[in-house]
Structure 1
Amino acid sequence: MFLAGSALYFTRFGGLSETELGLGLAIAGIVGLATTVPMGRLADRYGPRNLMLVVSVWRAVGYLAYLSVEGFTEFVVTASLLYIMDRSGQPLNQALVGRLITGPERNRTMAFIRSLRNVGFTVGFAVGGVALTSGSATAFQWLFVGNAVSFLVIFFFITLLPKVEPVAARNKRAGVAADAVVPPLRNWRFVAVTAANGVLFLHDAILTIVLPLWVAEHTRSPIWMITVLITTNTIITVVAQVPVTKHIDSLASAARATTRSALLLSVACVAFAAGGVADSPWWAAAALMTALLVMTYGELLHSASSWEITFAMSPEAAQGRYIAFFNVGFSAAEIAGPAVVLWLIAQAGPGGWLVLAVCFPIAAAVSRLGTRQGPAEDTPADPAGETAPVEQVSPPAGAATAAAPAGEAVPAAVPASVPAAAGS
């Protein structure tokens, strides 16, 4: 709901120009990016469940505070304070799943969350369309209020989740020093994986921002194909994310899935380029639909592999910190990705897609290098010497919901009997 109407609200009723809006969001995005890892450290210290309670209240207040913003300075301050919590939402979500659920069910649960998140986006944009149609300030403001209320609902459901002892408290009881874990920035394998997957996460920017502009400005395809393509992507994601994730249950299988996803993304880029040179509107539409289908499958594979990679490579004693660090790659792609891809297209047209087609396999190769089994000292381990994962739990019915980056309420844990299957 917020994403559907926020840009128009701030430019029409918030006293901001389009340039000020873009600059303010960029500043807030940098602030959120810089605080992601510290928020992960807090999750390790106090537990992701407890921190998500704070984050939910903070976000509810923050979205209401937007309603009183007047001018650029107030917008930047409010957005920056809110982005600290917004950017931490996805890694906290995953860290909470990692603390409550073990084994293959973790990855399936993340996929289930992503499927429901896409349902939430669809419903939210539909509701937002009502405000866009009316054009009144009051209708836009109700979108902000509804978004704020959703976080209070999330807060309630999080309180029903099982309590799990923070890893910091467990390590302290075991006599393990807080600095016994290698920080993610000093783990070269994890740094390589994070950077490489940041490049692969460009598929998010392509699907949400670049694709509409490419179709409208650079192809002969009918303009209504934008709606068809985005709707198709959403439906496939909701239906197929769980099945795609089913067989990605180890670091080795995740590495193979990352390679396959990169090749699919490359093929999709070539098809997008073909859509830009097709003379017939229908050939252009066919090329775009082919590209969309191939890229969607690559996106599903990459999402599933990225969850498994972070779970497998994150030491138990610093899971929140490692997951947050990995999410920096996604956030960087989300912030800089649209500008980079649009610049490539502006400079080279269809050739820009071919440059991207080369970048994806290179990134997958770097990621595979990072995930390759190294010496024992390079493999993150629980310094407490505990190799047994947290006991799997099944939350009360209807009580497993956690915060997603855009404000939707989604389950953070599901019973094993439920077909379970997040940044950018």
Structure 2
Amino acid sequence: MNWAGRLWRAATGADAFSDGPRRRLAVASFVDSLGSGLWLPSMVLFFTRGAGLSAAVVGVGLTCAGITSVAVTPLVGRVLDRHDPRRMLVLSYAIRTVVYLIYPFVHSAALFIPLVCLAQAAAQAGRSARTMVVAGLADEEERIRMLAGLAAIRGTAVGLGSLGATAAIVADTRAAYLAIVLVNAVSYVVAGLLVRTLPTLERAQQPEAHHQTKAERRQLLRDRRFLVLAGLNAVFLAGDSVLLVGAPLWITTRTSAPPALVGVLFTLNTVLVVLLQVSLGKMAKTLSGAGKAYLLSGATLLLGCAMFPLAALGGVAAAAGCMVVGVIGLSLAEVFSQAAGWSVPLALAPDGKRGQYLSAYAVGEGFMTFAGPGLITVIVLDGGGLGWLGLGVVAAAAGVAAQWLCRTGTPQTTRG
């Protein structure tokens, strides 16, 4: 095996995909993410230039989709605890396939907004279901390694897909955008068929989840440590909006760095996350390890944010250098927080409630999806350098608090 092959195996944790079901899940994740990589860069252009919707309508629709994903998470958690998560993941792919097959016929807000909300709700359910599938296929020691490997695989696929999207964006025709929509729909079909071949997981065979008392259903709301950790986790997710919204705005409006640097920084982030997710993410295999990962995430997010105001003070070379260091910090923060975000709900979930805990933890992700860009825009345009430093300090404090909560005692309930 050449050096490139060895690097790929190390980066993706290929040893974690040693049997047939795990390999099929990995292939399904790759195919799904390849389609997503094609779709995400061209999504807004498809709806505005290909479907004729206004930018305001698209913005309202995407905001409604983010709110919907937050609203459905409690229901998703209860469903996942009652049914085989493999079947729920297949259903998520099926719903998204139907939505994307209807997208070519969208020309009004009345059809666009319900469809994009349905697609986002299905995607949110699919993420929680996939984590539960991994938990069913791997033992406690291997779960985080397998999840990290899947994240590396998905990141690689999204990067490759985004290269393909460039051709459609350059062509800028309705036919090119329609091709991307249909390819993405096909990717969901292929991924769903692969997941359907996975073995039935034990969760579907636990009927006690159907007969919980009201007190048992409220157990999650009484788990204050978990709820605080879920809230703190949302702070670290702000790093995504910093990269997607904050960095491009800051580079183009407040620094002397060339606008082309934005694409370079996106590529740098993708490469770093793919290469480091498995090797660094493995520290979060335990609850205490997840606390350390959160601490490091807060520290590196502070480093990344501190580089932004410095980039505004120098010339072209200094600005570019500071932005590169800043994105390295953001990338490390993403790796650490993502691994901790998988570990905490799996470690703290009682038997029969893993789906509810995973879905509750995902609320922060859904919230930051629609609120994060706006918050970061306010920091960039109004807060300036002090805004960036304030965000970094908040993230560092969240890291300290999360580590303390993760090492305070042990989970009070048996792990699911």
TM (normalized to structure 1)?
0.85
Output aligned runs, 1:141-160, within 5 Å.
141-160=178-197
Partner residue in 2 for 1:379: 412
- Following superposition, the deviation at residue 172 of structure 1 comes to 6.5
Match of 1:329 in 2: 364
Q: What root-mean-square deviation, in Å, do the aligned CA atoms of Structure 1 and Structure 2 show?
A: 2.0
Task: Say whether the 8 Å CA contact 1:168–1:178 is kept in structure 2.
Answer: no
Correspondences of 1:111-126 after superposition (within 5 Å): 111-126=148-163
Among residues 5, 25, 42, which one is paired with 1:5 in the alignment? 42
Residue-by-residue CA offset, 1:206-265 (whole Å, 9 max, x unaligned):
112221221112111122211211111111111111111233321111101211210111
The answer to whether the 8 Å contact 2:152/2:277 transfers is yes
SS of residue in 2 equivalent to 1:246 = helix
Distance 1:256 1:301, change over 3 A: same
2:46 and 2:252 map into 1 onto residues whose CA distance is 24
Residue 209 of structure 2 contacts residue 352 of structure 2 at CA under 8 Å; is this kept in 1? no
Q: Please give the alpha-carbon distance, in whole angstroms, between the structure 2 residues aligned to 1:166 and 1:103.
A: 16
Does the 8 A contact of 2:291 with 2:403 survive in 1?
Answer: yes
Q: How many residues align?
A: 379
Give 1:71 deviation, angstroms. Answer: 1.0
**2:289 aligned partner:** 253
TM-fit CA distance, 1:294: 2.0
Task: Provide the residue aligned with 1:216 in structure 2.
Answer: 252
Give identity over the alignment, percent: 27
Tell me: CA distance 1:172–1:89, structure 2 relative to 1, closer, same or farther (3 Å). closer
Instruction: Give the Cα–Cα distance (whole angstroms) in 2 for the partners of residues 183 and 64 of structure 1.
Output: 40
Confirm or deny that 1:163 pairs with 2:196.
Answer: no
The equivalent residue for 2:312 is 276
Instruction: For 2:204 and 2:286, locate their aligned partners in 1 and report how far apart those are by CA, in whole Å.
Output: 23
CA pair 331-176 structure 1, distance change in 2 beyond 3 A: closer
Conserved? CA contact 1:171–1:177, under 8 Å: no
Distance 2:340 2:352 in 1: 22
- Tell me how far 1:188 sits from its aligned partner: 0.9
Distance apart, 1:39 and its partner CA: 1.1
Contact 1:167 1:317 in 2 (8 A): no
Distance in 1 between the 2:209 and 2:378 partners? 50
Identify the match of residue 171 of structure 2 among 134, 144, 147: 134
Match of 1:241 in 2: 277
Using the TM superposition, give the Cα deviation of residue 132 of structure 1 relative to its aligned residue in structure 2, in angstroms: 0.8
Give the 3-state SS of the residue equivalent to 1:277 in structure 2.
coil
Partner Cα distance (2:291, 2:282) in 1: 15
Residue segments in structure 1 that go unaligned for 5+ positions in a row: 383-388, 390-424
- Decide whether the 8 Å contact of 2:89 with 2:125 is kept in 1: no
Which ranges in structure 2 are unaligned for 5 or more consecutive residues? 1-37
1:283, distance to aligned residue in structure 2 (A): 0.6
Matched, 1:296 2:331: yes
Quote the Cα distance in structure 2 between the aligned partners of 1:294 and 1:370. Answer: 24
| 2:392 maps to amino acid | A
Mapping of residues 17-416 of structure 1, within 5 Å: 17-166=54-203, 169-171=206-208, 180=216, 182-278=218-314, 280-374=315-409, 379-381=412-414
Q: Counterpart of 2:283 in 1: which secondary structure?
A: coil
Whether the 8 Å contact between 2:51 and 2:107 is mirrored in structure 1 is yes
TM-score normalised by L of structure 2? 0.86
- Paired residues of 2:81 and 2:355 also in contact (CA < 8 A): yes
Distance of 1:362 and 1:248 partners within structure 2: 19
Look up the match of 1:15: 52
Deviation string 1:56-93 (CA, Å, 9 cap, x unpaired) is: 11110111111111211111111122222012221111
Please say if residues 168 and 317 of structure 1, whose CA atoms lie closer than 8 Å, have aligned partners that are also in contact. Answer: no
Native 8 Å contact 1:267 1:357 kept in 2: yes
Report 1 or 2 for greater relative contact order, CA contacts < 8 Å, sequence distance ≥ 6: 1
Q: Aligned equivalents of 1:178 and 1:381: distance in 2?
A: 19
Q: 2:291 touches 2:405 (CA, 8 Å); kept in 1?
A: no
Higher helix share: 2
Task: Report the AA paired with residue 120 of structure 2.
Answer: Y
- Paired residue secondary structure (2:256): coil
CA distance in 1, matches of 2:202, 2:243: 39
Q: Deviations over 1:125-163 (max 9, x none)?
A: 111111111111111001110111111111111122121
Match of 1:5, as an amino acid?
Answer: S
Do the aligned partners of 2:226 and 2:348 also contact (CA within 8 Å) in 1? yes
Q: For 1:277 and 1:172, how far apart are their aligned partners in 2? A: 58
User: Which whole-Å CA distance do the structure 2 matches of 1:167 and 1:361 have between them?
Assistant: 40
Deviation at 1:176, TM superposition (A): 7.3
Helix, strand or coil for the counterpart of 2:370?
helix
Secondary structure at 1:166 match in 2: helix
In structure 2, distance between residues paired with 1:103 and 1:112: 15
